[in-house]
């Protein structure tokens, strides 16, 4: 039994030793660039990608600043944005005054679920706008079509999330 514990410890150390920090850095920058291209703020994208690439899914401001070679102020601004869009949360490091920034569990599922709430709000506003403009006007018709698109997306997103939960259960993930 003691041998099993030692083997587990060695396996954990082997993983740490095999980590190629240059490859990690390339991944962080490449994924951050893709997130930026999709509309996320550049620094927030870099911080998010760095957190995603960290084994623990959590880092302090100082760790993020060092890993990304950015100022603590840049980390603070990025984390504020990520917290605002519910992609990370702030937790106090036990026995310390330092905060750790933590990725949410089931990050993508939660992010898309929150997007569903935004789509609901947008759809309602668009339907009201189409009614006010008149559905027969070009603007009213365009806005009504946009509302119908969001309604369709919501239904598809809910079905997709249900299918993801079912599929995830088959993947043997922690």
Dist. CA 115–CA 61, nearest whole Å: 27
Give 11-61 pLDDT, tens digit per residue.
444 444 577 889 999 999 999 999 999 999 999 999 999 999 998 889 999
The answer to which of 36-40, 138-142, 152-156 has the lowest mean pLDDT is 152-156
DSSP state of 101: E
Dist. CA 55–CA 31, nearest whole Å: 16
- For residue 83, the SS3 value is helix
> At 91, is the pLDDT very low, low, confident or very high (cuts 50, 70, 90)?
confident
Dist. CA 144–CA 129, nearest whole Å: 8
Cβ contact 87:107 at 8 Å: yes
Helix (H) or strand (E) holding 148: helix 138-169
Dist. CA 103–CA 13, nearest whole Å: 23
* Six token digits for residue 81: 């944005």
Give 96-127 pLDDT, tens digit per residue.
778 889 987 676 766 666 666 778 888 999 99
- pTM given for the model: 0.68
- For residue 22, the SS3 value is helix
* Chain Cα centroid distance, residue 19: 23
DSSP state of 57: S
pLDDT at 170 (0 to 100): 92
């Amino acid at each position: 039994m003691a041998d099993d514990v030692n083997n587990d410890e060695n396996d954990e150390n082997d993983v740490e030793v095999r980590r190629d920090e240059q490859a990690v850095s390339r991944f962080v920058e490449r994924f951050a660039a893709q997130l930026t291209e999709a509309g996320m703020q550049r620094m927030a994208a870099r911080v998010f990608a760095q957190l995603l690439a960290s084994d623990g899914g959590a880092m302090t401001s100082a760790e993020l600043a060092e890993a990304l070679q950015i100022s603590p102020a840049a980390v603070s601004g990025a984390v504020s944005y990520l917290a605002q869009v519910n992609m990370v949360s702030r937790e106090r490091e036990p026995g310390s005054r330092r905060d750790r920034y933590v990725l949410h569990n089931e990050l993508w599922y939660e992010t898309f679920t929150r997007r569903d709430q935004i789509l609901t709000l947008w759809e309602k506003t668009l339907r009201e706008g189409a009614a006010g403009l008149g559905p027969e006007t070009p603007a009213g018709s365009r806005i009504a079509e946009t509302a119908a698109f969001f309604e369709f997306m919501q239904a598809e997103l809910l079905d997709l999330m249900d299918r993801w939960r079912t599929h995830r259960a088959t993947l043997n993930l922690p």
